[in-house]
A and B are shown apart, each in its own frame.
Chain A
Amino acid sequence: MKIRVSYSKLGKIRFTGHRDVAHMWERTMRKAGIAVAMSVGFTPRPKMAFGLALPTGAESLIELIDITLDPASGVTADQLDSIADRLSTSLPVGMSVTGIRECAGTEVSLQEGVVATTWVMLVAEPDGGPDIASAIERVNNSAEVLLTRERKGEKHLDNIRPGILELRSADAELMSSLPADWIGESVGHAIVAVLTTSGRGIRPTELVEVLVPESDPPINPWDHLNRVLRINQWIERDGERVDVLTGRAAHTSVSA
């Protein structure tokens, strides 16, 4: 059986990287005593497929992993809830399972299927120049937003506006729906952004670069990005963005 598991990554553990998380999951499955199917070949690897990498330093309410269980694990569909608990206990502090379901072999892989993710970002107001609220308005009213990015060691000037699918200030309702201790002592202007992950996706740090005034030498976006939290991942179905785990459409959940 293949299962799709969603999990959160909050707090100190956010400073681990994507490879670290892959190793954590391998150890977690063994600690929980749930046998994972192995690939065949010279160096067998556990059959685990990870979703889009979460940047080191970013938090998430919804990270995704597909795991193929070994038939010998004896796990059946009605046991999935209890497995979720076992996994949460075995995961490091700051990570816990938020959803689990059986995943048909025909479903598109997480890497290919996810087209956009929603982020809540806490951005420090810049010392000089326009504030974040007016920067958001400027971006929304522009057909073109240019950002210099590096590809294969060369600098390219890209228009990232088409990849910014939604951008606005976060309202109180959204903020109160987030985990109570998420922000900690961090401060800043809270924004919500839906960013494309197709092709060369747009990273939260890249959005920050176009929201704060340019400077020389270039800013370190992490000087402004006090917190960043992924709250949703979307796949496309019949031309509509739907939640990758629940299948609910975007308009019902993106602002919730």
Chain B
Amino acid sequence: MTSLWSRLEPLLARVRKPARYIGCEDGAIVPQHGHGKVAWLLAYPDVYEVGLPNQGLQILYEILNERPDAVAERTYAPWVDLEALMRERGIPLFSVDSHRAAEDFDILAFNLSSELVFTNLLNMVDLAGVPVRAELRSPTDPIVMIGGHAAFNPEPMADFIDVAVLGEGEEVIGEITEVVREWKASGRTEGSRLAVLKALAQIPGVYVPSLYGVEYDGEHIREIKPLYAGVPERVMKRTVSDLGDWDYPRNPLAPITEVVHDRLAVEVFRGCTRGCRFCQAGMITRPVRERPAEQVRSMIVDGLQRTGYNEVSLTSLSTADFSGIESVISSIVPDPTACGAPTVSLPSLRVDAFTVGLAAKVAGGRRSGLTFAPEAGTWRLRTVINKLITEEDLYGAVESAFASGWSRAKLYFLTGLPTETDIDTQGIIDLAAGCVAVGKRHTGRANVTVSIGGFVPKSHTPFQWFGQNSVPELRRKIGLVRDAATKTKGVNVKWHDPSASLAEGLASRGDRRIGAVIERVWRDGGVFQEWSEYFKLDRWLDAMAAEGLSPDFYITRHRDEKEILPWHHLSAGLHQDFLWQDWRASLNEFGLEDCRWTPCYDCGVCTGDGLEHIVASPIPPAGGSQGTGQDLSRGGITPVTLRSKSSVGAS
């Protein structure tokens, strides 16, 4: 194994932001490769600034490097300028730690946080000098693996990956290392690739697409079944039972150049049972497992000391739900021994006055802006999506924010939700105007920014059966909001062009036939699809047409209960019938309470996995909105039935 550094070095002064490619971070290890060790290249298929802060990758990097039989390095997608120079000079994909060629590693493991990076994965595999199609790989090629949230429907990537890992990686990476170590020791002989893949498929949570066959009946899937004896019919996600056993990263990576989320991150809990029906993260990461408050505190103090950061983000899907939130904040914020009274940031906050109180406590003198996510414009639609925030919750939160000195609030909304009508869309501006009115009682400068995104249904959620709104329909709805905002003082609207939601929808719920579309888009130059300057809708539509596939079938069509969905053989632990019932309850406008503090409704995760929620407090947090204490008796008054796509306005 040799370093590519001397070939890369002359190129770096000629590209933008060359610090992306040098490693050198605080917390980076000096990789110790050696005979018998399994070498992992942990890859993030987006640019360094986006990938470096990723906590999943940092955690696995550290756990693997602690093992005597493994070594792990990192790589990120080279930006287009360096990629062009690399291809011109025949320089392959390299690690940033020791600048080794990707093909020198045994496992090329990609963390997928979104579907729009799928084409970048193909590009990086190709840059690595590894055949893009799994069937063409030889025993000397690395095993191409994916994990992360967007790996829960790996079917569109089935042709390109060897292995998908469902769920949390802390434990399963060790088991994978052991199998691959044996394979290495056996000399990786001709034909041994199938054998190692079969052995990997025996590990719970590990899915090997090539060991399964998919049969179609016209456009629909007739059957998905193992091709070999002993291959499990259904692959269940992995979950670590106690987050307190995994206090990683212990050596957080602090980059030497600016990145997104440029601060220490400490995960306070994993999983969420608020039950928002659109939220894939909340569904696939259950149950809730809190980290002990004392461990959170020591990870903050240690992490700040090691990195020199003076800001820490307490991460989770709903940080105000953390039982220990008040004690952690009150022990950290005024503590000069904790690296000089750090700034605390609280992402993903609930919408209620209690939460604003927390935000005020950590904000110090800064009052830049507070963000809330009501997601839908009317209570009716919020019961459909189970984002159970009443208008009183929102106005109470906003009242509290403006009273505490904030003058700006940002409200996040989705559009294109199931059963959404123009009344709901108009409701977005009504809510924003209501917030401005509340704010004006406190400051003349009060203003509210509405940020609006197009909804893309995801696998393993109650909305997996819902036909996504078409791009023109999403544009029309965003237009309604923008028009209404121009007549409303103090309200600004921010939005993204929804055309990328088509590609995201296609990849999110696609089957194996979508692989050919992804490959076409990549071959046509479609990389960095999350970056609007590189996204072209026509590339995707042309590729669909060339493959004879229908955008309506994959994106805008409602599915029914009998349909075999492409991820039918993969499980996030949620019972299929729970998801279906929750989907029907959604259409009937029935809200569902948070099961941490109410009786279990058997979604399947805890019972199926022998797990339970680990929550330090037996009572819901003070003032907790969203499924704790709202009057949910009003559902089902006007049941909604989804008929053809035209009934929800798709064109």
Report A's interface with B, CB cutoff 8 A.
12-13, 15-17, 19-20, 23-24, 26-31, 35, 42-43, 56-57, 90, 92-94, 184-186, 220, 222-223, 225-226
Contacts and interface: CB of A to CB of B under 8 A. Distances in A.
Given A15-B18, A42-B365, A28 B308 contact: yes
A16 B6 contact: no
A220 B13 CA distance: 10
B18 A56 contact: yes
Nearest to A90: B308
B630 to A, nearest CB: 39
Contacts, number: 73
Nearest to A30: B308
A57 B13 contact: yes
B339 interface: yes
B570 to A, nearest CB: 42
Nearest to A44: B365
Contact of B21 (A15, A17, A56): A15
A225 B6 contact: no
Given A27-B309, A35-B340, A56-B13, A43 B18 contact: no
Contacts of A92: 24, 26, 256
Given A27-B309, A42-B365, A92-B24, A223 B14 contact: yes
B258 A23 contact: yes
Contact of B257 (A20, A29, A35, A42): A20
Contacts of A27: 26, 254, 307-309
Interface in B136-158: none
A20 B258 contact: yes
A57 B254 CA distance: 21
A185 B306 CA distance: 34
B366 A43 contact: yes
Nearest to B14: A222
* Chain B residues touching A, range: 20 to 34
Given A24-B256, A30-B308, A185-B6, 6 more contacts: A15-B12, A15-B19, A16-B257, A17-B17, A43-B366, A186-B9
Contacts of B10: 186, 226
B281 interface: no
Contacts of B9: 184, 186
A12 B23 contact: yes
B22 interface: yes
A205 to B, nearest CB: 9
Nearest to A31: B308
B24 A12 contact: yes
B22 A30 contact: no
25 contacts: A12-B22, A12-B23, A15-B19, A15-B22, A16-B22, A16-B256, A17-B19, A20-B19, A20-B256, A20-B257, A20-B258, A23-B258, A23-B262, A27-B308, A28-B308, A30-B309, A30-B310, A31-B306, A56-B19, A92-B256, A93-B24, A94-B24, A184-B9, A186-B10, A220-B14
Contacts of B17: 17
Interface string B299-327: 00000111111100000000000000000
Nearest to A228: B13
Nearest to A222: B13
Nearest to B96: A12
Interface string B1-43: 0000110011011100111011110100000000000000000
A226 B9 CA distance: 9
Contacts of A185: 6
Contacts of B308: 26-31, 90
Most buried by A among B19, B310, B339: B19
Contacts of A43: 366
A63 to B, nearest CB: 15
A223 B9 CA distance: 12
Contacts of A23: 258, 262
A30 B365 contact: no
Nearest to B309: A27
B258 A19 contact: yes
Most buried by A among B12, B24, B257, B308: B308
Contacts of A222: 13-14
Report whether over half of chain B's contact residues are helix, strand or loop; otherwise say mixed.
loop
A57 B12 contact: yes
Nearest to A20: B257
A194 B529 CA distance: 47
Contacts of A56: 13, 18-19
Contacts of A223: 14
Contacts of B254: 27
Nearest to B306: A31
Interface string B192-233: 000000000000000000000000000000000000000000
B52 to A, nearest CB: 13
B491 to A, nearest CB: 26
B256 A13 contact: yes
A128 to B, nearest CB: 20
A15 B6 contact: no
A218 B21 CA distance: 27
Contacts of B304: 30
Contacts of A42: 365
Contacts of B257: 16-17, 20
Contacts of A93: 24
B125 to A, nearest CB: 26
A68 to B, nearest CB: 16
A94 B9 CA distance: 15
Nearest to A42: B365
A31 B13 CA distance: 29
Nearest to B19: A16
Contacts of B339: 30
A57 B306 CA distance: 27
A28 B256 CA distance: 11
Contact of A15 (B13, B26, B310): B13
Nearest to B20: A15
The 9 closest A-B pairs by CB, nearest first: A27-B308, A57-B13, A15-B18, A31-B308, A222-B13, A30-B308, A12-B22, A16-B19, A20-B257
B313 to A, nearest CB: 16
Contacts of B366: 43
Contacts of B309: 27, 30
A13 B24 contact: yes
Contacts of A220: 14
Most buried by B among A15, A19, A57, A225: A15
Nearest to B307: A27
Contacts of B6: 184-185
Contacts of A31: 305-308
Contacts of A30: 304, 308-310, 339-340
Interface in B340-357: 340
A11 B365 CA distance: 40
A90 B26 CA distance: 9
A122 B14 CA distance: 16
A184 B6 CA distance: 9
Most buried by B among A19, A30, A90, A220: A30
B250 to A, nearest CB: 16
A17 B262 CA distance: 16
B523 to A, nearest CB: 29
Interface in B237-272: 254, 256-258, 262
Most buried by A among B257, B258, B310, B366: B257
Most buried by B among A12, A186, A220: A12
B341 to A, nearest CB: 11
Interface in B532-575: none
A31 B302 CA distance: 11
Contacts of B305: 31
Contacts of B365: 42
A134 to B, nearest CB: 25
Contacts of B5: 12
A227 to B, nearest CB: 9
A27 to B, nearest CB: 3
Contacts of B307: 27, 31
A225 B304 CA distance: 39
A93 B25 CA distance: 9
